[in-house]
Amino acid sequence: MRLTITDIAKKAKVSKSTVSRVLNNSGYVHRETREKIEQVIKENTYYPSATARNLSKKESNTIGVIIPEADNEFFGEILTGISEVVDEHNMTLIFCDTSNRFLKEERALDMMNMQRVKGLILTPVNDHSDSETEKKLKQKLRDSKIPIVLLDRGVKNSQWDGVFFENYQSAYSATEILIKEGHKKIGIITGDLKLKIGQDRYKGYLNAMEDYKMEIMDKYIYEGNFSVEKAYELSKQFIESKDLPDAILTCNNRTSLGLIKALMEYNIILGKDISAIGIDNNKVLDILGYNFSYVARDAVEMGRVAMRRLLERFEDPDKQRVEYIMPFKIYLKGSEKKKP
């Protein structure tokens, strides 16, 4: 049975406040009394409650992280990067997964406040398309009165630091590669167009097509939502229509997986029957030797940068808002090539 402060006080025959002063190293305690309490603790393997300590001190050494998709490889790498920096500074990390649902995000923010986290790294959910939910989110963040860093997704007119990706330029460059390969009918499976990251990637595609005087055909624009399921459904639709684009841009790792699942199901060969390039890496595809070309961002480094920015904000709360834009790299493995 886990020992409590009350149990220690009874065993040492002292008051609970005396035990508390010993545990927190605050206030005077006679040497013999201190030694007696420490002996009881040692003999009974007492572990102090971090939550109770946080509540009593109204502060903690805990960093909160709220992400929308815990099962997404990208956010797993984000957490790895954050955790590395947290460990370097002997801090504690807790995280919540919102499953891209605003109600879960609200509960997660409430939980972080109850835990008295020292700072928060947040990737907002994808349903802040209406002003009411965005207003609620901003108010909750302001009410928390702690340093906050937004990661990957932002909010309009943000007052908080942010770490983001070159969404527009990455999609522009990927589309440009397909154009230079000689493809004429270039399509796209977009991300969630209610999100700025989805809008920016779509704009990158459109502007590259316009700059190179390529025809933009509505029938080859498939509106996705960054999920495997939606990309798979859309891919099946254009496969069954018997009107494939020459090449297609997928707007995140899950969208790429949805496309490839459909192609494999219909025995359509990537790089021969259709070409493609995606945004974000899929380690599973690399492991399987599936030569899928992609535009990569260093998700682990994004996590590190976000955590370092939070530490800087602890040191200088009044510093002007900072926004970091992470660069990208392109890895061409053959799937972008024009079919022979």
Long-range contacts of 126-131 (CB under 8 A, 24+ apart): 126/68, 126/100, 126/153, 126/192, 126/194, 126/195, 126/225, 126/226, 127/100, 127/101, 127/102, 127/194, 128/102, 128/155, 128/194, 129/194, 129/195
**Residue-level pLDDT at 224:** 96
What pLDDT, in 10s, does the model give residues 209-254? 999 999 999 999 999 999 999 999 999 999 999 899 999 999 999 9
Q: What mean pLDDT do residues 123-138 have? A: 79
Domains present along the chain, CATH in parentheses:
5-48 (1.10.260.40), 60-165+299-326 (3.40.50.2300), 167-296 (3.40.50.2300)
**Residue-level pLDDT at 132:** 81
Enter the pTM of the model: 0.79
Q: What mean pLDDT do residues 318-330 have? A: 93
Whether the CB-CB separation of 54 and 115 falls below 8 Å is answered with yes
**Residue-level pLDDT at 323:** 94
Contacts of 309 (CB under 8 A, 6+ apart): 149, 161, 163, 322, 324
Flag whether pLDDT at 43 surpasses 90: no
Collapse the DSSP code of 81 into the 3-class scheme (helix H, G, I; strand E, B; otherwise coil) and give the result: helix
The Cα 56–Cα 53 span in angstroms is 5
Flag whether pLDDT at 51 surpasses 70: no
**Torsion angles phi and psi, residue 49, rounded to 5:** -80, 115
> Is residue 300 exposed (0-12), middle (13-18) or buried (19+ Cβ within 10 Å)?
middle
**Residue-level pLDDT at 22:** 80
Q: What mean pLDDT do residues 145-172 have? A: 94
Flag whether pLDDT at 339 surpasses 80: no
What pLDDT, in 10s, does the model give residues 132-154? 888 889 999 998 889 999 999 98
> Which whole-number Å values give the CA distances from 150 to 159, 314, 315, in the listed order?
10, 15, 18
Flag whether pLDDT at 102 surpasses 70: yes
Q: What mean pLDDT do residues 20-48 have? A: 78
